Structure 1
């Protein structure tokens, strides 16, 4: 039953209905929340917190990758151990929990593109695609099918009710902020999603809550690797997914000199210095990966500096139409890597979902396939972003 205030009898407007802690006009016990549970401490705390507040919690864990192959590997998400841990939390807190086999969807939507992008000389970010195409698309539809009023996750990011619509903001803890990986969240998804941990100041607070709830995952280590990339060995995964696709070629200096050979562009990334195997001399860095000619192009560090960055598949979460940019473009801060702070830039639309980003100070190591995320020049609001192209 929806919680509402009594109607006014003096001719004044009705008092708006009271809202619960998730911002919905219902009592917690009348509010169904689907919680995406990875088996880690973050999502476990979200589920336990909402159950303790009286919400109708349903836990869902996605099997994204062959958990039999990853069972003994530390630092992997979505493995057999994680499914077990999520189920145990649900049993301890007393809410239903289900495991959905999303292996085929994950392979088609994330893994295949990851492999093809690497072979094309790009540096993809599969965790963003997983959020975009699996968790916030397919799983969100499952939540609606289960008649959930919203879906909650353990991501460190904040959803704020703005004057016009729901807004995406960086997490209160800059060390845990995951906004870079969630820039492609669509507005209609943001309206439905909730992020109960985004306001916490540190991971220590999350673990303290886990201990308060008596959860055995309170001290469980954070996942470090991409779930289908054992020990961070991207090249080994690509060679397994696309046998024989990586072709040898030349390592070439920007000035045209051939300095050596390589066994495939998948073994290199933009900005790489170590492991080039081309001997001494001046410090050289990978500045370009030419997959068509199978060339790895190297040069001095200053050759890495980039001031203009073309982006595609732009997702705009700011006010107004993205294409109606003011003269000179949108003034924003941008991240071209997840570990870097936002830097001043201008974004000039070049199409319905494409743009050119002008960095006011050149950045090094800008790589095709990475995300370029837009932030408000002041404050914490996330304005969207796009994918860096050549």
Structure 2
């Protein structure tokens, strides 16, 4: 009997191929599908989410084909009290949250890992495109990028602790997506050609505004658009509808074009200005999690990115009092947004990351 591993299975091709690869490597694999919603949570959107009944059945079918145990864990309560609660409160506070990172923190590598260990599992595995390695010199566990840079998901995993990394397997870290689909097709997996989910799982089609309104039971408060001097420009349609850097959908016919600069939750006011006002070289972040080092005690040269989809840029990281990070980029960055994650890299290795404050 091999080492016991619990694998999160969403019904997609990535987690399905992960199950196959773990089984071939000699692990004792158990598949787990997470129930994160109940029908009343999703209304008419429930069949569009990545956690629909059809997805769960795809996961079950793959587990049956591979002959591995399959479980469904109901984590809807913890998902609602952490990921969804954080998502709504952050938007209402004028920030832009990162629900995928929070889900990894609270649900997948929080509640699910705890459950796996309670059931005498030795490892938790997921279909993320990332790698875990041990630095034999320092003894620290390292989080590294996935080999397929176009699919690399290390940005969403920056919060993993040393203990969590020591118990985590990423079977796809050394593969490209095209290879994963080929493996699935060669082994007759039902979801070999299934498209990837691109949306926030509880807000299909990106309609997070409707989700927030349905969940809170009230529309987002309206308020004023003002310019950089505080001059009234018009009225907006709801505080949570707008994010820093946004230009489309403002409903204002003003030239030159204006962009969302910041939001004041106390007054419901949204300040607009030119694109040039969106660029900055310096940010601060809190809730830092360090991976490749226990902490930084002097300025450290890194590359960093402030959103998943961007290329990282060279910067200098400095520790301030209270665990706060100051990051100074070599060149200005556009629309750095509070609430989002900033992740620091040293080549292929994640140094650490945290939540942008300003």
2:84 matched to which residue of 1? 111
Q: 1:266 Cα shift?
A: 0.5
> Any idea what SS the aligned residue of 1:216 has?
coil
Q: 1:48 Cα shift?
A: 1.5
Determine whether 1:282 maps to 2:263.
Answer: no
Alignment of 1:93-242 (within 5 A): 93-163=66-136, 164-200=139-175, 202-242=176-216
Determine whether 1:347 maps to 2:320.
Answer: no
Q: 1:63 Cα shift?
A: 0.4
Tell me if the contact between 1:59 and 1:98 (Cα under 8 Å) persists in the aligned partners.
yes
2:352 matched to which residue of 1? 384
> Any idea what SS the aligned residue of 2:131 has?
strand
2:31 matched to which residue of 1? 59
2:307 matched to which residue of 1? 337
- The CA distance in 1 between the partners of 2:92 and 2:188, in whole Å, is 46
- The CA distance in 1 between the partners of 2:322 and 2:118, in whole Å, is 32
Q: 1:352 Cα shift?
A: 4.8
- Normalising by structure 1, we get a TM-score of 0.88
Structure 1 unaligned spans of 5+: 1-28
Q: Residues 300-358 of structure 1, C-alpha deviation per residue, up to 9 Å, x if partnerless?
A: 11100112111110000122x31x422xx221111111111111111211235321111
- The CA distance in 2 between the partners of 1:77 and 1:352, in whole Å, is 38
Structure 1 vs Structure 2 CA RMSD: 1.4
Tell me if the contact between 1:315 and 1:384 (Cα under 8 Å) persists in the aligned partners.
yes
How many residue pairs were aligned? Answer: 353
- Normalising by structure 2, we get a TM-score of 0.95
- The CA distance in 1 between the partners of 2:81 and 2:184, in whole Å, is 35
Structure 2 unaligned spans of 5+: none
> Any idea what SS the aligned residue of 2:191 has?
helix
Q: 1:291 Cα shift?
A: 1.4
Aligned counterpart in structure 2 of residue 305 of structure 1, from 260, 279, 287 = 279
- The CA distance in 2 between the partners of 1:113 and 1:139, in whole Å, is 19
- The CA distance in 2 between the partners of 1:352 and 1:208, in whole Å, is 49
Q: 1:245 Cα shift?
A: 5.9
- The CA distance in 1 between the partners of 2:37 and 2:310, in whole Å, is 30
Tell me if the contact between 1:315 and 1:353 (Cα under 8 Å) persists in the aligned partners.
no
Max radius of gyration: which structure?
1
Q: 1:104 Cα shift?
A: 0.6
1:7 matched to which residue of 2? none
Determine whether 1:273 maps to 2:241.
Answer: no
1:11 matched to which residue of 2? none
- The CA distance in 1 between the partners of 2:47 and 2:286, in whole Å, is 38
Tell me if the contact between 2:226 and 2:233 (Cα under 8 Å) persists in the aligned partners.
yes
